[in-house]
Chains A and B, each alone.
Chain A
Amino acid sequence: MIYVNDLRKEFKKTIKEPGLKGSLKALFKPNNEIITAVDSITFHVPKGEILGFIGPNGAGKSTVIKMLTGILTPTSGTCEINGYIPQKNRQKYVKEIGVVFGQRTQLWWDLALRETYSVLKEIYDVPDAEFKSRMAFLNEVLELDDFISSPVRTLSLGQRMRADIAASLLHNPKVLFLDEPTIGLDVVVKDNIRNAIQKINAEEGTTVILTTHDLADIELLCNRIVMIDKGKKVFDGQISELKREFGQMRDLHFELTHTDDFDKLVYLEDFKVTQDDVEIKNEGASVSVRFNSDKISVEDMLSYTLAKVHVKDINVKDADIEEIIRRLYKREVSIDEV
């Protein structure tokens, strides 16, 4: 369905030194630098999958999406979607895809929402009958009825996003690109949008490529994630794989019976590990220890703790996905491990 091969994008950037002096210098001798925003990325998405595309700010996610949607021309490498090369048969190709950029709207700002859809109907050449049934379906999934007659500028952010997603689905695209569709939305609206995406994916088999910073989106929606950082792919696989590979950090929580006992716990010295592998926090009687289960087994950890101190309550938790990703973003987990 989607084949991305060795995709690369470079930008030229003018470096300007700060202050007036810098501006004057740039006037006579502009200083250019080539920046590689996307560096040899390869991946493949089968039909009907929901792929989560994640990475820290400035990692190059949007640049990849923009190349896949035909907006940017790659410096080198290829992408092929449904047999089309986006930049080559652009007008034909974009009929097969829907695009939502969460940060900007494609709706006609001053017109009633309904009008946007009738203009899009013409742009995409959707036949009347199909348009009717399509609108009915989108209405049901995204609940547009309440505000379809209001001018777009009066819509709330949540309504606008629903309207934008509907706009991108009007022509029944085979692939849907969503660039941060839940940005700035409240919990309830996020839920609605996720449900809608799931429903559309399930009922129509639409392939979805999603970028987001909200990891709940990823956990609830995506079968698979591709993570990029500084333009390079750093992870590609199932979420469970991610957990298996990078989820070695565990959290141990307990309540001390005697608060003074805390000083007896000297994990670092007794296990001969560094602070990278064991991290201790305490607040009165309550203590939490984050430890690397590759270095210290859960069993050793528990027996050591129980031998040293009296506790009221004790439990061990898996690191959650957010923690894993935080560590990946901060480069605590090296790329070589992938």
Chain B
Amino acid sequence: MKFKKFMRTYRPFTRAGMLESVAYRANFICFLLGEIMSCFIMFFVWKAVFNSTSGQDFMGFSMNDMVVYLFITFLTGYLTYSDGTYAIATEIRDGSIAMRMIKPCSFDMCFLFQELGNKIFNVLVIFTPIVVGVEAYKWVITGSCQFNVVNFLLYVVSLILAYLISFYFNVSYGFMAFYLKNLWGADILKECIVNFLSGATIPLAFMPPFLASVLSFLPFSSLSYTPVMIYMGMYSPFEIVYKMLFQVFWLAVMILISKLVWRHAVKRLCSQGG
């Protein structure tokens, strides 16, 4: 009963998000093509790297692994991407966040469901082609189907956790971005740092051991590295359980932070009079 009411309240947001993403589909596809370019650049860079090394492997990764890593990381990054930073910082700046306070629903759920609606179209356009493409590539290279259903399903669970962490992280960061004034700059700053710390730019395994072990304890590795490693079957069952519990832990922390930040924002609005 409660669930039904919950869905009734938030379904319109999902619908609005979906309509929005379909309306801006051309933008989305162009944007996607622009972003996926960096994948291809890194593909060629890694190919050259593998050509330049003497052995077959580069620090435990084969070229085959590298390709899977690149594209699955791209996919993960795209699906866990959350627009919260920009949206919230803009709303705080122009005062329209007050409109969220007068609506009879929780602000984070509104954002979340709108964004999920937005994602539905994107998932259709990007998820299937990349997964199929990557699996086909592996098939062609190795000569047999390598698709592992269990790993895939675990990946999806881990991906959802990663998205939620990303969502609450972005909500919290959005509030900070407001203080940094330059939203665009703040967003770029976040992207670069998060990409690097999460292992999206370069696998954590390639980094100096000390740095790698520090980064694996920070929340960022939960955003990208954990799901990708699960997809690639790099973790043992024990590691998978451990890493996923780690994701749950960071999700709880991020939710807590975002609540505190929201309370602060409300106070600020009240004292300023919006």
Interchain CB contact under 8 A, B25 and A20: no
Which of chain A's residues have a CB closer than 8 A to the CB of B18? 20
Contact with B along A289-301 (1 / 0, CB 8 A): 0000000000000
Asked if B19 is an interface residue, CB under 8 A from chain A, the answer is yes
Asked if A76 is an interface residue, CB under 8 A from chain B, the answer is no
Whole-angstrom CA separation of A23 from B15 in the bound complex: 12
Whole-angstrom CA separation of A27 from B29 in the bound complex: 13
Chain B binding site: helix, strand, loop or mixed by DSSP? Answer: helix
Chain A 16-57 interface residues, beta-carbon cutoff 8 Å to B: 19-20, 23-24, 27
Contact with A along B235-273 (1 / 0, CB 8 A): 000000000000000000000000000000000000000
Chain B 14-28 interface residues, beta-carbon cutoff 8 Å to A: 15, 18-19, 22-23, 25
Which of chain A's residues have a CB closer than 8 A to the CB of B25? 27
Which of chain A's residues have a CB closer than 8 A to the CB of B15? 20
Q: What residue in chain A is nearest B18 (Cβ atoms)?
A: A20
Tell me the smallest distance from the CB of B98 to a CB of chain A, in Å: 19
Q: How extensive is the interface on chain A, given as a class? A: under 10
Which of chain B's residues have a CB closer than 8 A to the CB of A23? 19, 22-23
Tell me the smallest distance from the CB of B124 to a CB of chain A, in Å: 12
Whole-angstrom CA separation of A307 from B23 in the bound complex: 68
Whole-angstrom CA separation of A27 from B19 in the bound complex: 12
Whole-angstrom CA separation of A20 from B22 in the bound complex: 8
Whole-angstrom CA separation of A24 from B15 in the bound complex: 14
Whole-angstrom CA separation of A19 from B19 in the bound complex: 8
Which of chain B's residues have a CB closer than 8 A to the CB of A20? 15, 18-19, 22
Most chain B beta carbons < 10 A, residue from A19, A23, A24, A27? A23
Which of chain A's residues have a CB closer than 8 A to the CB of B19? 19-20, 23
Whole-angstrom CA separation of A24 from B127 in the bound complex: 19
Q: What residue in chain A is nearest B26 (Cβ atoms)?
A: A27
Which of chain B's residues have a CB closer than 8 A to the CB of A27? 22, 25
Tell me the smallest distance from the CB of B80 to a CB of chain A, in Å: 25
Tell me the smallest distance from the CB of A68 to a CB of chain B, in Å: 33
Chain B 186-207 interface residues, beta-carbon cutoff 8 Å to A: none
Whole-angstrom CA separation of A222 from B159 in the bound complex: 67
Whole-angstrom CA separation of A20 from B23 in the bound complex: 9
Q: What residue in chain A is nearest B22 (Cβ atoms)?
A: A23
Whole-angstrom CA separation of A23 from B18 in the bound complex: 10
Chain A 272-295 interface residues, beta-carbon cutoff 8 Å to B: none
Tell me the smallest distance from the CB of B12 to a CB of chain A, in Å: 12
Whole-angstrom CA separation of A20 from B15 in the bound complex: 8
Whole-angstrom CA separation of A24 from B25 in the bound complex: 10
Contact with B along A57-87 (1 / 0, CB 8 A): 0000000000000000000000000000000
Whole-angstrom CA separation of A19 from B25 in the bound complex: 15
Tell me the smallest distance from the CB of B160 to a CB of chain A, in Å: 24
Tell me the smallest distance from the CB of A321 to a CB of chain B, in Å: 40
Tell me the smallest distance from the CB of B217 to a CB of chain A, in Å: 43
Whole-angstrom CA separation of A23 from B25 in the bound complex: 10
Tell me the smallest distance from the CB of B16 to a CB of chain A, in Å: 11
Tell me the smallest distance from the CB of B14 to a CB of chain A, in Å: 11
Which of chain A's residues have a CB closer than 8 A to the CB of B23? 23
Tell me the smallest distance from the CB of A14 to a CB of chain B, in Å: 11
Which of chain B's residues have a CB closer than 8 A to the CB of A24? 22
The interface of chain A, by Cβ under 8 A from chain B, is: 19-20, 23-24, 27
The interface of chain B, by Cβ under 8 A from chain A, is: 15, 18-19, 22-23, 25
- Beyond A19-B19, A20-B15, A23-B23, 8 additional pairs, beta carbon < 8 A: A20-B18, A20-B19, A20-B22, A23-B19, A23-B22, A24-B22, A27-B22, A27-B25
11 A/B residue pairs, CB under 8 Å, sorted by A? A19-B19, A20-B15, A20-B18, A20-B19, A20-B22, A23-B19, A23-B22, A23-B23, A24-B22, A27-B22, A27-B25
The list of the 10 closest CB pairs from A to B, nearest first, reads A23-B22, A23-B19, A20-B19, A23-B23, A20-B18, A27-B25, A24-B22, A20-B22, A27-B22, A20-B15
